[in-house]
Structure 1
């Protein structure tokens, strides 16, 4: 036991002894068993994950049509291509550092939502669990809609978006049921087909694209659009924070942290910048070609992709199907990690087989995806913002706990991950969480609500909710945590 826990006695409690039931598929098809239990050093000697899987996994997750869709949002805010490109590049250079850092936590053998108990406390961590489940379900739905929009476009409207959502979610469910070993096997190569699609689309659609500023925003209006687009790109990047560690728990214990950090950063940064830039470029076609604008209005990003690939005829339709299927690896982190988030709800949840939790997430994503498709653009921007606010609080508190109170990796007792007696209750995190969302309420800008501070920036307002969320939660947590630790001893 390290110095941080020397004064703490470790009594047995219910959460120390809970073991999930052995699933009925034990030993079949190499389906992953177990749940959120810490993966021991001995267990990592079997079915070991290679460090380069940390790159290929994120290549597959981000080489997706949803990433293309995010890039197009800058144009819809009135920004020209080169402004969008600069925002995409700069924001990704910095924000991708955060999921790369949290990916290293997987080397402890703990998933990220479980590891958060050390900063949020056992019971305060329920906030992390609930919001993580909401976030992953929301992304699962939104990403499925992005892929379904492409199938809708390639079928000339005959294949409804709700049907596409079901098809994509079903494929994701099957892979997530199989588990982490199958996921890493598939993600080794399934990023290649969508990469081919994006390269072809960039070439065949280039004649319709432009770098000129047709909207010509000025002053505070342009500043507001830039800040809002920065917030959307930032939200997309840090959405991986609460699950990045989950896919490295089977890495050998002696794997250097810098390798995991570097592989994850490369795996997120390069496909995200590439595909978001293409999305931004494709949107400019709506400025120069009325047919492109009509296609975007009727089928969103799917319409733009159809117009870009139209010159290659039937082969272009085949490529569009591949693009739609890129939503499958894009959604795997959401559906798979949903089950791990849910098992943190308490001892009873650990008894529920992982496969059942995956199925719950699958059903929720279908229901929300089919309902949200009608208001896709507004839903996408609002979801990105709200998820981003909560994720800022999550990563801020984890970082402050790690560097200020734990003072590095030696400050943790990893055997206490499931002990209510040896983890803080979480009053400090709960208080900081509330203050963080107060900051978000003051600075957020969504389709349905603009905060009082956000509203004064330009005619359309600007999303500065992330900055205020960080300031409010990051300032109050150290004070609250010191009080909690001083009087509670943990």
Structure 2
């Protein structure tokens, strides 16, 4: 890999202090507990304590083989789409959108986490937008995914186990694993995708008799187009939400690991479980059309109710499988809680001095508070969160790609020693301007539970979510112009 990592670049004061945050407690090393933060992992450091390239696949298998993925798949039916409409959308959108987190996963081979690497595109100070929105996104997903798992426990207990209690149980388990750090995460994720896979296979078999491929609403014309666009936006947002953290789990890959290995492993690890589980979610929702009991269960406990009805023929074994399904929210949330700490440490030199464990704990508490509050308005919160995160992520990936291909001209254009230098990195005026225009596009095209943009409202009777397209157009056109001016005036 031809990265410009010349040692001629002077360290900033904060860079010199980084050595103090390296692991210094031998007992932590013996337990493989991660003690460092966002400091760049050098090639020399990766000669020891490395991870294997297939961990890039198993990590994402575990993260996406989850009940939250099942929940996303069921949204199409609630919009009035048939199973086959949902399946085509799930397949086509994932084929394309999963390429984005697979590409950003490769940035981890530089030894930098994604939020830190974004400084080369957004500038040192402009990157604060990346940090803040990434912290919001990971906290929101942490809460929403916990609610998905808690809904399964709620359904299993016939409503006696409250959703908020399930949120706390799941968040605590996630917190423990994230405190241990990346080595333990990769060890566990090598295997923990297998139990939920068994759950989904059994649920597909035992619930098959109640499922249908018939079009139960019969949407036509603009109304169907609106439903299709909104569902596409939900599927897209779920996949690209991993863009902001995909690189974080590859910083300890062996020195010289080919980029295509990481890209391919990540793509397979995201695409395969996401398509399988979202398709099952779309299928399970059709049970509400053929069976009133399924509809009542969905109304009472959301996706947990559908899963309970599907596994009911399995008796006691089905109840055990529901527990496994609920616990699938734990690996699903690990990327959110773990990366939250790394996002937060990018807030400035002062944040780098705060131990990673403290940042993980702060994200854990925030997720519990938000999750317990959002549980009451889960459906609306899910749709709105998916939309807002999707808009922000489109801006993020658009600016990073344009900087990479237009201004850096590939991998050799980065001085990796400058990752923490305020004087070597751009300020970020170009990214800040493009960010503002991107959200203007989102405001015009967004469709959420509480607000529809003026352009979105033109499609169908209820409006359609076209915010991603407008966000990409607005930010993609303005950033090259602003960046050219920034380089011409500031020289960086």
TM-score (structure 2 length as normaliser)? 0.97
Match of 2:423 among 395, 403, 421: 421
CA gap of 1:24–1:38, structure 2 versus 1, over 3 A, is closer
The 1:4–1:147 alpha-carbon spacing in structure 2 relative to 1, beyond 3 Å, is closer
| Partner residue of 1:310 out of 297, 309, 312 | 312
Counterpart residue number, 1:171: 173
Secondary structure in 1 matching 2:80: coil
> By how many angstroms is 1:25 displaced?
5.8
- The SS at the match of 2:147 is helix
Give CA deviations for 1:265-312 in whole Å, capped at 9, x if unaligned: 000000000000000000000001000000000000000000000001
For 1:180-329, what aligned pairs fall within 5 Å after superposition?
A: 180-329=182-331
Deviation of 1:46 after TM superposition, in Å, equals: 1.1
Q: 1:337 to 1:225 in 2, by over 3 A?
A: same
Q: What 5-or-longer segments of structure 1 have no aligned partner? A: none
Please tell me whether the aligned partners of residues 25 and 31 of structure 1 are also in contact (alpha carbons under 8 angstroms): no
Look up the match of 2:13. Answer: 14
For 1:92-171, what aligned pairs fall within 5 Å after superposition? 92-171=94-173
Q: Is the 8 A contact 1:310 1:316 kept in 2?
A: yes
Structure 2: any 5+ residue segments left out of the alignment? Answer: none
> Which position in structure 2 is the counterpart of 1:458?
460
Deviation at 1:41, TM superposition (A): 0.8
> Residue deviations 1:121-173, cap 9 Å, x none?
00000000000000000000000000000000001111100000000000000
Q: Alignment partner of 1:442: what SS?
A: helix
- Aligned residue for 2:475, secondary structure, equals helix
> TM-score, normalised on structure 1?
0.98
Distance 1:139 1:395 in 2: 18
User: Aligned partners of 1:235 and 1:300: how far apart in 2?
Assistant: 20
| Counterpart contact for 1:4–1:406, Cα < 8 Å | no
Aligned pair count reads: 488
Hey, what does 1:374 align to over in structure 2?
376
Over the aligned positions, Cα root-mean-square deviation in angstroms equals 1.6
| Aligned partner of residue 27 in structure 2, secondary structure | coil
Instruction: Write the distance in 1 (CA, Å) between the matches of 2:10 and 2:184.
Output: 38
Whole-Å Cα distance in 1 between the matches of residues 25 and 78 of structure 2?
A: 48
Alpha carbons of structure 1 residues 394 and 355: separation in structure 2 relative to 1, 3 Å: same
The answer for the alignment partner of 2:36 in structure 1 is 34
C-alpha displacement of 1:22: 5.9
Aligned-partner Cα distance in 2 for 1:18–1:127: 24
Matches within 5 A, 1:349-428: 349-428=351-430
